[in-house]
Structure 1
Amino acid sequence: MRITSAIALMALALLAGCSDDRHDERLRQAGPRPSLAALLKVADVGLGERKFGRCAGCHKNNPNAPDFGGPNLYGIYGRPMGQSSPTFGYTAALRNAGGKWDAATLDAWIDNPRAVVPGTSMQFAGVPDPLDRADIIAYLKSRSPTAETATPRPAKAR
């Protein structure tokens, strides 16, 4: 039992080292009590792509990919809510919500979809960390050819 526990702890330590996303450093760069705009300035598209993995069980994000459990999110940034896929069966609540998928709406949605659109069928607990959400938003924006230039990837720390 002790050997199994030791191996598990070593594996966790190795994984922690592999997932260095400079979270705390980037959060400090954003300033105290950072706004969404400040978080987006330190957001990392590559990390957002990795963090999008928790969404990828239901959503694809490639041109011409089919809808899966949720609509394909390629090109979603800046588009009207509940209308990006002609083949996905959006709830009436989402179709009638109005608005578009901009940074503020995506931030609120990724945090708690049911708070943004009561009646949505999306079953997702949300992403509580605001910097993680900013990374995902930067990635979604980068996958939207019609959006303004995506947030650039910060240089790696040396």
Structure 2
Amino acid sequence: MFVRVASTCALIATALLAGCSGDQHDARLQKAGPNPSLEALLKVADAEIGARKFGRCAACHRINPGAPDLGGPNLYGIYGRPMGRNSPRFGYSAALRDAGGTWDAPTLDAWIADPARRVPGTTMMFSGVSDPLDRADIIAYLQSRPGPAR
């Protein structure tokens, strides 16, 4: 009897915690529509949620004005900047410096999904974020940290 009650309580607690995550991932994904485009995902993306998801990036990156570079460059103000040029102090790989392009939403989406596929030869050792809404949330967060006008 005790085992059954404990199991039921554990299941209820798990269901409640899953529903109270504050992320509303499935609801936001459904709102984006079937097979959503990046544009549709960005419409339901949440910068605050992206800030939490950026935590996995924070081991190597900071995103504050004047913060030091770590294993990766400070990403403050990266959105809209040329690839491989955001931090004058960081030693970007030749592959990233030579990749061309700017850090816009499609470029960031491809990079966050799989850095080595987006820029072969990059030195960034990160397997990527597979969930497209998680990537959109992180992009929304990066967009919310625009840095000074350039």
Bin of the TM-score, shorter chain as denominator length:
0.7 to 0.9
Other-structure match for 1:22:
24
Residue 111 of structure 2 is aligned to residue 124 of structure 1: no
SS in 2 for 1:76: coil
CA RMSD of aligned residues (A): 2.0
Per-residue deviation, residues 25-69 of structure 1 (Å, max 9, x unmatched): 001110111000000000001000000000000000000001011
Deviation, 1:17, is 4.9
- Equivalents in 2 of 1:45, 1:68: separation in Å? 23
TM-score by length of 2: 0.87
- Equivalents in 2 of 1:75, 1:102: separation in Å? 12
- Equivalents in 2 of 1:18, 1:106: separation in Å? 29
Runs of 4 or more above 4 Å deviation:
none
Other-structure match for 2:70:
68
TM-score by length of 1: 0.83
Structure 1 spans left out of the alignment, 5+ residues:
148-158
- Equivalents in 2 of 1:101, 1:44: separation in Å? 19
- Equivalents in 1 of 2:148, 2:33: separation in Å? 30
Deviation, 1:112, is 0.1
- Equivalents in 2 of 1:135, 1:35: separation in Å? 14
Other-structure match for 2:79:
77
Quick check: which has more Rg, 1 or 2? 2
* Percent of aligned pairs sharing the same letter: 70
Other-structure match for 1:98:
100
Structure 2 spans left out of the alignment, 5+ residues:
none
Deviation, 1:119, is 0.2
State whether residues 62 and 76 of structure 2, in contact with CA within 8 Å, keep that contact through their aligned partners in structure 1. Answer: yes
Residue 38 of structure 2 is aligned to residue 48 of structure 1: no
- Equivalents in 2 of 1:77, 1:94: separation in Å? 15
Deviation, 1:146, is 5.8
